[in-house]
Amino acid sequence: MNIHTNIALKSFTTMRLGGMADVMVELKSLEDITSLYTQAAERQLPVYILGSGSNVIARDEGYRGIVALNRIMGFEIVQEDEMSVTIRVGAGENWDEFCAKTVEMGLSGIAAMSAIPGTCGASPVQNIGAYGQEAADVIVSVEAYDTTSGQFVELSAEDCKFSYRHSIFRGEAAGKYCITAVTFRLYRGMPQPPFYDALQNYLDSQNITLYTPQVIRDAVTAIRAKKLPDPAIQPNTGSFFKNSVVEKWLYDEVATKFPDVPHYDMPDGQIKIPTGWLIEQTGLKGQLLHGMRINPANALVLINESAGSYSDLAAAREEIITQVRDMFRITIEQEPLELV
């Protein structure tokens, strides 16, 4: 386990902000994990597990502890039958590469989540999703190190308490587990419509009527390329805000003033309204706030053009939240986690 000191967090997060981490290590095995937490406990140091840094915001003060880069790899077919294939994948594996591999195998279930940056171990944390699919639909279990018991455990999908862009890993059990592997059950056969509106519209525009996992992956990748800037070129974390899930009475209130408001039915009678649409109605789309550009192609995305600090990002975030709340009485929420 390689150990480094005084490492700039902005070099390991795609928003390219943040101070110094006192210590940084790479985790490549289960033995590395037990060693890490033993040493951290002896020195009374906190530990933060980081994947690719594509959904994490680092603060100016840095991290007074150990940042551990999860690089645990692996790909194993654990079960298959005529209908499905169950795959166990290491937490450090690249998510999009995993998507590509399963599509090549002719499997359905995650093709619409192609081109999401990050690692497979991060996928259950915020229950990633896109174009009508989400990780919770296909996750069987999550393997992790329980930092309270010092034991490796296996959590069922039910144990993870998945909901929209949420799980216990970013909720009541935040920091408790170091995820080591995720098991997915994917399905043989063709993806079945109806598809998410944006995806269906793209397929229709290309006169595509034969739906395969590869067709869906290619379509989603093309859509995302137009809407989401490459973080290697323009620093960003993808969608900076979650889509808004509101009670029906609040949706009705918005729809009274904006009859064309896009919306999607959610469980328990709630309604999802695209937050990008809400931001666009305020007139902020495309504007530069404190060095952060609201992406002209997708108002959910904040691009770091010239912000030099987390405080710049925080100021831009608060302006956006305030203007949306003042116009719609909806308080939008940040999607990326914060490294604290």
| Set 71, 165, 185, 217: catalytic member | 165
Q: What type of residue sits at position 315?
A: A
Domains of the chain: 3-70 (3.30.43.10), 75-188 (3.30.465.10), 244-339 (3.90.78.10)
Query: Known catalytic residue: 205?
Result: no
CA 260 from centroid of its chain's CA atoms: 28
Contact 89, 74 (CB under 8 A): yes
Residue 255 phi, psi (nearest 5): -65, -25
| Beta strands 3-8 and 20-27, pairing class | antiparallel
H runs (alpha helix) in the chain: 30-43, 95-104, 157-160, 197-205, 213-227, 248-257, 275-281, 310-328
Q: Which of 71, 239, 293, 317 is catalytic?
A: 239
Of the candidates 93, 134, 143, 335, the residue annotated as catalytic is: 335
Find residue 63's DSSP bridge partners: 21
Where the chain has pLDDT below 70, the residues are: none
**Which residues are CB-neighbours of 314 under 8 A, at least 6 positions away?**
none
CA 53-59-64 angle, to 5 degrees, is 95
| Whole-number pLDDT of residue 142 | 98
DSSP code for 62: -
Residue 165 annotated as catalytic: yes
- Is position 239 annotated as part of the catalytic site? yes
Alpha carbon distance 10, 329 (integer Å):
34
Q: CA quadruple 304, 305, 309, 314: dihedral positive or negative?
A: negative
In the chain, the amino acid numbered 41 is A
Dmax (CA) of the chain: 62
Token pair listed for 116: 């999401």
Phi/psi for 109 (5° steps) reads 135, -30
Q: Give the chain's end-to-end CA distance (angstroms, integer).
A: 23
